[in-house]
């Protein structure tokens, strides 16, 4: 009768477990910069999205004003309340109007939003508004 010897290597050894954990850690570390970058980008997009909504709101409000250049100018120079986004960033909307040389005509109305205390424009838009008189 032939006798078979039993193997002493049963299951996974400690060395294999440590090596596999090391490889998993290396793969995780490779993805870490990408994850951090995506979180930062998401935070920035929240602020820009809120700024875009504020610009749209200012354009809609301008279109509801009296169809005169005086009415639009009064609206553009009136005080605007600041808004705080979901991250706690204070956003300041701004408005400007450029009246036509002759009437009736179209006035150029521009709205933009900056972070309070900074000059970098987060969002901006311009529209033409028909005005019948000065």
pLDDT digits (tens, 9 = 90+) for 37-89: 998 888 889 899 999 999 999 999 999 998 899 999 999 999 999 999 888 89
Residues 133 and 110: their CA atoms lie apart, in Å, by 19
pLDDT of residue 87: 86
In this structure, of 53-57, 83-87, 102-106, 120-124, the range with the lowest mean pLDDT score is: 83-87
Q: What is the pLDDT of residue 90?
A: 94
**CB atoms < 10 A from the CB of 10, how many?**
7
Contact between 72 and 58 under an 8 Å Cβ cutoff? The reply is no
Read off the pTM: 0.72
């Amino acid at each position: 009768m032939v006798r078979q010897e039993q193997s002493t290597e049963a299951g996974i050894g400690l060395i294999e477990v440590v090596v596999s954990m090391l490889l998993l850690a290396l793969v995780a570390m490779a993805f870490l910069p990408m994850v951090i970058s995506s979180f930062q980008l998401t935070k920035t997009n929240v602020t820009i999205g809120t700024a875009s909504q504020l610009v749209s709101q200012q354009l809609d409000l301008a279109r509801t004003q009296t169809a005169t250049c005086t009415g639009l100018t009064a609206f553009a120079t009136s005080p605007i309340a600041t808004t705080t986004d979901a991250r706690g960033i204070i956003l300041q909307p701004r408005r400007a109007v450029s009246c036509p040389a002759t009437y009736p005509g179209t006035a150029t109305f521009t709205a933009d939003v900056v972070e309070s205390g900074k000059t970098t424009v987060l969002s901006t838009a311009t529209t033409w508004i028909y005005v019948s008189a000065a």
